[in-house]
Amino acid sequence: MKTARFLRVAALAVLFLPLAAAANIFYSVTANPAQGRLEVSLTFVSRGASTELQIPRWRPGSYRLAEYDRNIKAFEATDPTGRPLITRQVEDTTWRVSHPEGIPVRIQYEVPATVRDGVVHYSGPGTYLYVVGRKDEGCVLRIETPPDWRVVTGLDRSVSSGNTFIAPSYDVLADNPVTMGDFLMDKYEVLGKPHFIAMRGPGREDVDRPYLVSVCKSITEAQADFFGGLPYSKFVWHFNVSDAVDGGGGLEHLSSTQISLGSGVGPRSIGVLAHEFFHLWNVKRIRSKPLGPFNYQELPETGALWWLEGVTDYYADLLLFRYGDIDENAFLASIASTVRGVRSNSARMEVSPHEASWKVRDAADGRGNSRGWRISYYNTGWLVGMCLDIELRARTGGERSLDDVMLALWEICRDDKPGFEEDDIRKQLMRFGGEEMGEFYDRVVMTAGELPAEEQLAKIGLRLIEEEEAYADVGFRWVADKGKQGARVIRVSGPAEGKLERDDVIVAINTQPIVKATNREITVVMNEELAKAEAGVVLYVRVKREDKEEDIEIRPLVATRTVRRVEALEDATDAQKALRRGWYYADVKDRSLSRTG
């Protein structure tokens, strides 16, 4: 039986050779949904008397150690006749196989696979072993599934088989997740290149699919316009859709992204999409040298994660505004929100953005994390990006900006170049803004302390203000819960105490029914009704509690909260206004690319 299986894979390898002459490692992944596993094999010609194989300890984009080795089961190696070769697990992530030199060797093992609603999704680093010392060799991947399953991945297909894909190296192979099974699929095209939207998860049927396509396409067009093209032959959005109205998180890849997406595709969700798509350039291609080719056994050390993650976040918001996908109020609100987030962490006075990046591997007692050491390189990097951008514009009278720095780094890194040096960001800032930009860089990147948000905003005629705001406190918090057919109460306080209980389900407010088909519809109605609430005026709430419905009266109280907001200076000069217009719109030439402007 083993011999037959080996010969079948060996025959496939022979067939693959014409597809990719540089391909030396042949992978096969067979989905076994009934057993909840993937059966994986790789075939290669041996060199020397032994070969070591490893599974990564971390995955690019997530700077924390994982324990993928624990998922490797039934590991074995065989020669061309199907006879077992001697294997030994020499470390947690390393296996050594003894063999004669120059023979085909087949490694096979199993990893768990979660099957949900007829769909399997997996990522490369936790699935594919690599041959130590041979990660730069070409790879061919064959995926075998039940006959009615579809397969989508960002890898290029071979010319002879629908489920055979090619990759120039292990890094590229591992960087392309796979979705297969009965998932929902949509497609659009930008600059002649196909883009696929693959949706799985419990909320996928609730998504407004034409709207999601329009959002994805608009982001693609805007960022392609910014960089002057698209750096891939095709792209895949791998969405795991929840019942949430908004929000999500993602992980970037060379020609795809994995995103947990709220089915309502709200403003935060759109921000996540823009962020992950911008990573196609900034991090996946515009990267510091430690971020590729990868050492999968040790977390990387780079002081540039504030740029690669935080400035990516900054440009995600800025380009959404420039191309008309969000309005000015939403963009200014993102500034205020970012300042609030940065200043809520007192460690900012002790840790610089560079240090938060460089020491990320030291977080969580040496296991690393995906946000930064002690402070977040996301919101800190966002604010640093804004400060650098405004400073460069102010020093050059609007002639130069952070756009120039980003595009210069793109020229340094594009076409598979090795990546930029740790001081290249500083050098490019000085190239476009003079020696003093190096001093400003040292102030906001290399030095701990308060970032000069107010000082920088003033240069473009804006101000950040903080004040107390009165509002009507209804006394409860809620979440949309389609499964409960209403808005589920999750916290009770003040005017609602003794009236509402946790897990009550609100089915109507002021006679307005809340029961809707999706969480997004529930949220729209709840927000509209609660926006009408006034202190001292009775709010009529109908709740369902243990299968019984009850009408409850709640009288909201006057409360105050601290709010930050950004607004224009009334006495802003023409020069300040001109700098602000340049910051807002840069040289966007074709506003028709956007959905709304």
Same domain assignment for residues 359 and 225: no
Look at residue 138 and tell me if it is in a domain: yes
Which two tokens mark 518? 């999706």
Beta bridge partners of 463: 567
Look at residue 149 and tell me if it is in a domain: yes
Would you say 285 and 414 are in contact if contact means Cβ atoms under 8 Å apart? yes
Look at residue 288 and tell me if it is in a domain: no
Task: Please give the DSSP secondary-structure letter assigned to residue 308.
Answer: I
- The pLDDT assigned to 175 comes to 98
Look at residue 300 and tell me if it is in a domain: no
CATH number at residue 50: 2.60.40.3650
Q: Measure the CA–CA gap between 169 and 184, rounded to whole angstroms.
A: 30
CATH number at residue 309: 1.10.390
- The pLDDT assigned to 158 comes to 87
Mean pLDDT lowest for which of 171-175, 444-448, 546-550?
A: 546-550
Q: Measure the CA–CA gap between 481 and 544, rounded to whole angstroms.
A: 13
**pLDDT over 90 (residue 89):** yes
Q: Measure the CA–CA gap between 102 and 105, rounded to whole angstroms.
A: 9
Same domain assignment for residues 12 and 141: yes
Among 144, 167, 182, residue at a domain's last position: 182
Write down the residue that tokens 């802003």 correspond to. Answer: 572
CATH number at residue 511: 2.30.42.10
Among 137, 156, 182, residue at a domain's last position: 182
pLDDT tens for 355-372 read: 999 999 999 999 999 999
Look at residue 291 and tell me if it is in a domain: no
Q: Measure the CA–CA gap between 199 and 208, rounded to whole angstroms.
A: 12
What one-letter code names the amino acid at 333? A
Would you say 387 and 335 are in contact if contact means Cβ atoms under 8 Å apart? no
Helix (H) or strand (E) holding 219: helix 209-227
pLDDT tens for 49-76 read: 999 999 999 999 999 999 999 999 999 9
**pLDDT over 50 (residue 186):** yes
Same domain assignment for residues 75 and 95: yes
Same domain assignment for residues 440 and 520: no
Same domain assignment for residues 34 and 88: yes
Same domain assignment for residues 518 and 586: no
Same domain assignment for residues 416 and 503: no
Same domain assignment for residues 388 and 241: no
Look at residue 129 and tell me if it is in a domain: yes
Greatest mean pLDDT among 386-395, 482-491, 585-594 lies in 386-395
Sequence-separated (6 or more) residues with CB below 8 Å from residue 237:
195, 196, 197, 198, 216, 256, 257, 259, 273
Tell me how many domains the chain contains.
4
Look at residue 299 and tell me if it is in a domain: no
From 87, 71, 89, select the one nearest 127 (Cα to Cα): 71
- The pLDDT assigned to 594 comes to 37
Q: Which of the four pLDDT bands, split at 50, 70 and 90, describes residue 23?
A: low
**pLDDT over 50 (residue 331):** yes
- The pLDDT assigned to 161 comes to 67
What one-letter code names the amino acid at 92? D
Same domain assignment for residues 373 and 487: no
Q: Measure the CA–CA gap between 410 and 428, rounded to whole angstroms.
A: 11
Same domain assignment for residues 437 and 551: no
Q: Which of the four pLDDT bands, split at 50, 70 and 90, describes residue 325?
A: very high
pLDDT tens for 477-527 read: 999 888 888 999 999 999 999 999 999 999 999 989 998 878 888 988 999
pLDDT tens for 391-408 read: 999 999 999 999 999 999
Q: Which residue has the higher pLDDT, 481 or 381?
A: 381
Same domain assignment for residues 23 and 126: yes
Look at residue 293 and tell me if it is in a domain: no
Region 92-117: mean pLDDT is: 97
- The residue segments making up the domain with residue 499 are 475-555
CATH number at residue 270: 3.30.2010
Among 150, 182, 214, residue at a domain's last position: 182
Same domain assignment for residues 178 and 196: no
Region 32-39: mean pLDDT is: 96
What one-letter code names the amino acid at 182? D
